[in-house]
């Protein structure tokens, strides 16, 4: 039976970079692409980082019973939803997938698929370095949204609290202070 390796960590911990590298460097690892109603960032494209959908499209998936897990966040720009959808593309009985999500979505996926299928990969970075990375990324946007950056940064402290990590039995951390070393360590977990 295939596995779903679930990449998670606080904002600006390097998840997207690690995700792309692992997909490029690990043959046979397929992306599990989530759906979101948030606006597309500069440099993102449909079906790569996310499937960008409207609230109405998301509601249609919900009405059809296709939602595996769904989260909604009140942001400074309104409510943004993120979801894992059973769109008929998952071949998890024989293929390995890589997904990015939150601790909350990890728990829901774990409940849905079970601990033999969902394997956590938790990325950590020192907070000062994370904030620096987040600022650099935000400055590259056509319209930087510093208020949302701050909201996410503060929300991560609650969302990934030590207690929540312990409750969800996340006890292996992959430090992304050196990207190459971090990816090498994760690759060992994937093999």
Predicted pLDDT at 93: 67
**Res 91 pLDDT > 70:** no
Q: Are 68 and 85 in contact (CB under 8 A)?
A: yes
CA angle 181, 186, 189 (to 5 degrees): 140
Residue (of 35, 36, 31) closest to 4 by Cα position:
31
Let me know how many helices (H) and strands (E) the chain has, helices first: 7, 9
Judged on CB neighbours under 10 Å (0-12, 13-18, 19+), 33 is: buried
The position carrying tokens 């009140």 is 74
CA angle 9, 48, 79 (to 5 degrees): 60
Longest dimension (CA), the chain: 44
The radius of gyration of the chain from alpha carbons, rounded to an integer in Å, stands at 16
pTM score: 0.85
Q: How confident is the model at residue 191 (pLDDT cuts 50, 70, 90)?
A: confident
Q: How confident is the model at residue 73 (pLDDT cuts 50, 70, 90)?
A: confident
CA distance 100 to 86: 16
Q: Which residues, other chains included, contact 114 with Cβ-Cβ below 8 Å and sequence gap of 6+?
A: none
Angle between helices 146-159 and 127-139 (to 10 degrees): 150
**Res 92 pLDDT > 70:** no
Q: How confident is the model at residue 186 (pLDDT cuts 50, 70, 90)?
A: very high
């Amino acid at each position: 039976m295939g596995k779903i390796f679930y990449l998670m960590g606080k904002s600006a911990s390097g998840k997207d970079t690690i995700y792309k590298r692992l997909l490029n460097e690990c043959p046979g690892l397929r992306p599990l692409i989530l759906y979101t109603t948030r606006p597309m960032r500069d440099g993102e494209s449909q079906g790569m980082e996310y499937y960008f959908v409207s609230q109405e499209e998301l509601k249609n998936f919900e009405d059809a019973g296709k939602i595996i897990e769904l989260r909604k966040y009140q942001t400074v720009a309104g409510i943004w939803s993120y979801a894992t959808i059973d769109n008929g593309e998952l071949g998890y009985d024989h293929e390995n997938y890589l997904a990015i999500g939150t601790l909350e979505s990890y728990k829901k996926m774990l409940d849905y698929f079970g601990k033999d299928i969902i394997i956590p990969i938790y990325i950590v970075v020192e907070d000062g370095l994370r904030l620096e990375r987040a600022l650099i990324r935000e400055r590259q946007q056509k319209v930087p949204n510093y208020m949302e950056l701050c909201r996410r940064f503060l929300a991560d402290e609650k969302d990934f609290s030590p207690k929540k990590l312990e409750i969800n039995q996340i006890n292996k951390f992959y430090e992304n202070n050196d990207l190459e070393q971090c990816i090498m360590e994760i690759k060992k977990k994937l093999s």
